[in-house]
Chains A and B, each alone.
Chain A
Amino acid sequence: MTQLPLIIQRLSESFLLNWNLFALTLLFSVPLGLIVALGSMSRCKLVQGPVRTFVWSIRGTPLMLQLIVIFYGPGLMNLPFSWPGGDTGRFTAATVAFVINYACYFSEIFRGGIQSIPKGQYEAGQVLGMTKPQIFVKVTLMQVIKRIIPPSGNEVITLVKDTSLARIISNKEIIMMAGEYTNQGLIWPLFATGIYFLVFVGVLTLLFGQIERKLEYFKA
Chain B
Amino acid sequence: MTILEVQNLEKSFGDLDVLQGIDFSLNKGESLAIIGSSGSGKTTLLRCLNFLEIPDRGKILVNGEVIFDAEDPSTQREGEVRKKRLHFGLVFQNFNLFPQYTTLENVVLAPKLLAKDRPDYAKNKKTLLDEIDTKGRVLLDQVGLTDKLSAYPHMLSGGQQQRVAIARALALEPDILCFDEPTSALDPELTGEVLKVIRTLASRNTTMVIVTHEMDFARSVSDRVIFMDEGLIVEQGDPQEVFGNPKEERTRKFLARYKETDE
Give A residues with C-beta under 8 Å from B: 118, 120-121, 123-132, 134, 138-139, 142-143, 146, 217-220
| A-contacting residues, B48-76, CB 8 Å | 50-52
Cβ-closest chain B residue relative to A119: B96
Is B244 interfacial (CB-CB < 8 Å)? no
Chain A residues, CB < 8 A from B89: 127
The closest CB in chain B to the CB of A128 belongs to B110
B100:A123 contact, CB within 8 angstroms: no
A-B Cβ contacts below 8 A, count: 64
Contacts A143-B100, A219-B99 known; A127 to B88 CB distance under 8 Å? Answer: yes
Judge if B94 is at the interface, Cβ distance under 8 Å. Answer: yes
Tell me the bound Cα distance from A120 to B95 in angstroms. Answer: 9
The residue from A120, A126, A127, A220 contacting B94, defined by CB atoms under 8 A apart: A120
Chain B positions 69-101 with a Cβ under 8 Å from a chain A Cβ: 78, 82-83, 85-86, 88-90, 92, 94, 96-101
Answer whether residue B168 sits at the interface, using C-beta atoms and an 8 A cutoff.
yes
Question: Considering the chains assembled together, what is the distance between the CA atoms of A217 and B153 in angstroms?
Answer: 10
Tell me how far the C-beta of B79 lies from the nearest C-beta in chain A, rounded to whole angstroms: 9
Query: Bound complex: CA of A38 vs CA of B224, how far in Å?
Result: 47
Q: Are A124 and B82 in contact (CB under 8 A)?
A: no
Q: Are B85 and A129 in contact (CB under 8 A)?
A: yes
Interface contact B152-A217, CB-CB below 8 Å = yes
- Is B190 part of the contact surface with A, judged by Cβ < 8 Å? no
Determine the distance from Cα of A179 to Cα of B145 in the docked complex, in whole angstroms.
67
Q: Interface 1/0s, chain B 154-198, versus A by CB < 8 A?
A: 100000000000001100100000000000000000000000000
Say whether B109 faces chain A, with CB atoms less than 8 Å apart. Answer: yes
A127 near B100 (CB under 8 angstroms)? no
Does the CB pair A218–B152 fall under 8 Å? Answer: yes
With beta carbons under 8 angstroms apart, the residue of A123, A130, A139, A142 that contacts B92 is: A123
Distance in Å: Cβ of A20 to nearest Cβ of chain B:
35
Cβ contacts A to B, 21 pairs, < 8 Å: A124-B96, A126-B51, A127-B52, A127-B85, A127-B89, A128-B110, A128-B168, A128-B169, A129-B82, A129-B85, A129-B86, A129-B113, A129-B114, A131-B82, A134-B113, A142-B100, A217-B100, A217-B152, A218-B99, A219-B152, A219-B153
**B172 cross-chain contacts in A, Cβ below 8 A:** 128-129
B109-A138 in contact (CB<8A): yes
Q: How far is the CB of B181 from chain A (nearest CB, A)?
A: 13
